[in-house]
Amino acid sequence: MENIKVGLWGLGSMGGGMGRILAKKDGVELAAGIDLDPNKIGKDLGDVLGIEKLGVKVSDDAEDILDDSLDLVILATSSFLKDVAPQIKLLLNKGINVISIAEEMAFPEAQDPDLADELDELARENGVSLLGTGINPGFVLDLMIIALSGVCSEVERIEASRINDLSPFGPTVMKTQGVGTTVEEFEEGLKSGKIVGHIGFKESIYMIAKRLGIKLDEVKETREPIVSNTYRETEHVKVEEGMVAGCKHIAKGYSDGKEVIVLNHPQQIHPEKEGVETGDYIKIIGDPGVDMAITPEIAGGTGTMAVAVNMIPHLINAEPGLHTMADLPVPGAILANMGNLLK
Task: Catalog residues that contact a copy of itself under the rule CB under 8 A.
Answer: 21, 24, 135, 139, 143-144, 146-155, 211-215, 286-288, 290-296, 298-299, 302-303, 305-307, 309-311, 326-337, 340-341
302 and 278 Cβ atoms separated by less than 8 Å: no
Identity of the residue, 171 or 329, whose beta carbon is nearer to a copy of itself in the bound complex: 329
> Least distance (Å) from a copy of itself to the CB of residue 6?
14
- Are 285 and 295 in contact by the 8 Å Cβ rule? The answer is no
Beta carbon nearer to a copy of itself, 189 or 313: 313
- Nearest CA to 104 among 251, 215, 204? 204
Instruction: Quote the least distance from Cβ 271 to a copy of itself, whole Å.
Output: 17
Question: CA-CA distance, 343 to 336, in Å (whole number)?
Answer: 15
Is the distance from CB of 177 to CB of 246 less than 8 angstroms?
yes
| Nearest approach, Cβ of residue 21 and a copy of itself (Å) | 5
CB 1 within 8 A of CB 65: no
Nearer to a copy of itself, 55 or 168 (CB): 168
**Minimum CB distance to a copy of itself smaller for 168 or for 242:** 168
Q: Report yes or no: 74 and 8 within 8 Å, Cβ to Cβ.
A: yes
Q: In angstroms, what is the minimal distance from the CB of 101 to a copy of itself?
A: 13
Closer residue to a copy of itself in complex, CB, 36/293: 293
Give me the least distance between CB of 91 and a copy of itself, in Å please.
23
Distance CA 8, CA 15 (A): 6
User: 3-state DSSP call for residue 101?
Assistant: coil
Q: How many Å apart are CA 290 and CA 60, to the nearest integer?
A: 48
Radius of gyration from C-alpha coordinates of the chain? 20
Q: How far is the CB of 41 from a copy of itself (least distance, A)?
A: 27
Closest CB 190 distance from a copy of itself, rounded Å: 31
Cβ proximity to a copy of itself: between 191 and 215 the closer is 215
Residue with Cβ nearer a copy of itself (58 or 282): 282
List Cβ neighbours of 4 (8 Å cut-off, separation of 6 or more). 27, 28, 29, 71, 72, 312, 313, 316, 338, 339, 342
* Least distance in angstroms from the C-beta of 260 to a copy of itself: 10
Nearer to a copy of itself, 218 or 256 (CB): 256
Q: Which residues contact 158 (CB under 8 A, 6 or more apart)?
A: 145, 149, 208, 260, 261, 262, 282, 283, 284, 285
